[in-house]
């Protein structure tokens, strides 16, 4: 290497060293400034001088944007000053950029809880649970299962949810509530049935005539006869009574098998029929599946016997299960029962205690309650010491006993409860449809 080249090499190395030293010094300066601002911010926060804390934490965050701890301190300072929107914004940005930050989720959820926004508190912890396996998150999630708000109007009586709608009584007349708790049909009818999601109509009795109305309350289907009863349309048929005999009608009011003392709507391909004091099952071809031998075929509050493929019947003073083919499912017998709601557990009684069975007739929750309702959409009412609470299918308590009665819950988390003589709807946030 010649002399000139050695000089050039030495020069390049020198420049590099100067650059490195300069970079290190700048880094050290940034680090020092960050630490100083955090220290000053902590002192200001401790003294409750939050406006200064915001300034110092803000500068620290600018010099080190990746530091989550200082951003949380900045958010807390804004909250202390009453700037809730900034507090929320900072924590949401942390969550969006770093989904696994436990502290941000917890602070945001508890902030919502303190401010009475229980729905948002639950939603925040639900989101956290999806990305973080944390004892604190799980504990808070379990505690939030009991969060609810009152929705809809107070009413004097209800049946149960079907097709997203609920028949309700105010005073002496009936109307219809939708699955958000809003009354969509005013209480003006003497009687009302449940909503048919097939035909999009509801049977009503106005005091002189049975007919059908649509979801807006407008008269929709009216027969030529004056029927003494009209039921819910399913599988193309609706139960009807004319001249004291029950059978079925289709949408055009053609009549079928008007020969029984009672008929129910079809569900899962079968309906219950009564002749004299005995009951039987018929299929959608209007043919008998069983003999008239049952003392009772158990119906739900909307008059359906087969919300699942398992049906409760009563014979010789005891209840047992049969399938929609009429064949017995299980040898177990019960002293009292509540109809199934879909494929969820049904309430059954032995002796003086109630428990739950599955659709195969197997005991799912042991006999332990004073009274019980069948499960619907993941929860059921149970009675203990004279008052009603709510459990989930793991037999975990969702709501401690505090109500005078509890009925079914819909798919949007709206549960029917009773206090005194009044029924009302409450919405359980843990069971809301968040889609």
- Domain range list for the chain: 3-98, 108-143
Q: What is the CATH architecture assignment of 3-98?
A: Alpha Horseshoe (1.25)
Contact 151, 181 (CB under 8 A): yes
Could you tell me the pTM of the whole model?
0.81
Contact 382, 373 (CB under 8 A): yes
The residues near 243 (Cβ < 8 Å, ≥ 6 apart) are 258
CB atoms within 10 A of CB 388: 24
Per-residue pLDDT of the chain in tens (435 residues, 90 and over written 9): 555 555 555 445 454 544 544 444 444 555 888 999 999 999 999 999 999 999 999 999 999 999 999 999 999 999 999 999 999 999 999 999 987 899 999 999 999 999 988 889 999 999 999 999 999 999 999 888 899 989 988 999 999 999 889 999 999 999 999 988 999 999 999 999 999 988 899 999 999 999 999 988 999 999 999 999 999 999 999 999 999 999 999 999 999 999 999 999 999 999 999 999 999 999 999 999 999 999 999 999 999 999 999 999 999 999 999 999 999 998 899 999 999 999 999 999 999 999 999 999 999 999 999 999 999 999 999 999 999 999 999 999 999 999 999 999 999 999 999 999 999 999 999 888 776
Question: CA distances (Å), 252 to each of 180, 202, 236, 245, 287, in order?
Answer: 32, 15, 10, 19, 21
Residue 344 tokens, joined:
């969820």
């Amino acid at each position: 290497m010649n002399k000139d080249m050695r000089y050039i090499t030495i020069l390049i190395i020198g420049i590099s060293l100067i650059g490195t030293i300069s970079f290190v010094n700048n880094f050290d300066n940034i680090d020092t400034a960050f630490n100083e601002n955090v220290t000053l911010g902590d002192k200001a926060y401790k003294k409750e001088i939050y406006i200064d804390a915001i300034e110092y934490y803000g500068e620290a965050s600018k010099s080190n944007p990746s530091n989550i701890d200082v951003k949380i301190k900045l958010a807390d300072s804004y909250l202390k000053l009453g700037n809730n929107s900034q507090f929320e914004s900072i924590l949401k940005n942390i969550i969006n950029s770093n989904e696994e930050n436990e502290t941000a989720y917890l602070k945001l959820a508890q902030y919502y809880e303190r401010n009475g926004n229980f729905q948002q508190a639950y939603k925040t912890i639900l989101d956290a649970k999806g990305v973080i396996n944390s004892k604190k998150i799980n504990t808070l999630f379990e505690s939030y299962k009991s969060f609810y708000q009152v929705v809809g109007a107070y009413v004097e009586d209800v049946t149960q949810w079907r097709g997203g709608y609920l028949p309700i009584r105010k005073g002496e007349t009936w109307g219809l509530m939708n699955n958000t708790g809003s009354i969509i049909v005013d209480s003006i009818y003497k009687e009302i049935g449940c909503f048919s999601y097939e035909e999009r109509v509801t049977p009503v009795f106005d005091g002189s005539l049975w007919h059908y109305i649509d979801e807006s309350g407008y008269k929709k289907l009216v027969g030529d006869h004056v029927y003494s009863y009209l039921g819910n349309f399913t599988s193309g048929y609706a139960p009807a009574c004319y001249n004291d005999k029950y059978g079925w009608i289709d949408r055009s009011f053609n009549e079928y098998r008007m020969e029984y003392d009672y008929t129910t709507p079809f569900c899962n391909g079968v309906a219950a029929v009564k002749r004299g004091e005995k009951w039987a099952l018929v299929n959608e071809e209007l043919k008998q599946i069983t003999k008239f031998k049952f003392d009772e075929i158990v119906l739900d509050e909307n008059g359906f016997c087969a919300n699942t493929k398992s049906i409760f019947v009563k014979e010789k003073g005891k209840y047992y299960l049969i399938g929609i083919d009429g064949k017995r499912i299980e040898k177990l017998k019960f002293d009292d029962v509540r109809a199934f709601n879909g494929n969820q557990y049904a309430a059954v009684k032995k002796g003086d205690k109630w428990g739950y069975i599955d659709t195969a007739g197997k005991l799912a929750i042991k006999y332990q309650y004073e009274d019980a309702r069948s499960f619907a959409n993941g929860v059921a009412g149970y009675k203990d010491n004279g008052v009603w609470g709510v459990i989930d299918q793991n037999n975990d308590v969702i709501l401690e006993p505090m109500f005078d009665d509890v009925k079914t819950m819909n798919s949007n988390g709206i549960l029917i409860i009773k206090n005194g003589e009044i029924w009302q709807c409450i919405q359980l946030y843990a069971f809301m449809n968040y889609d």
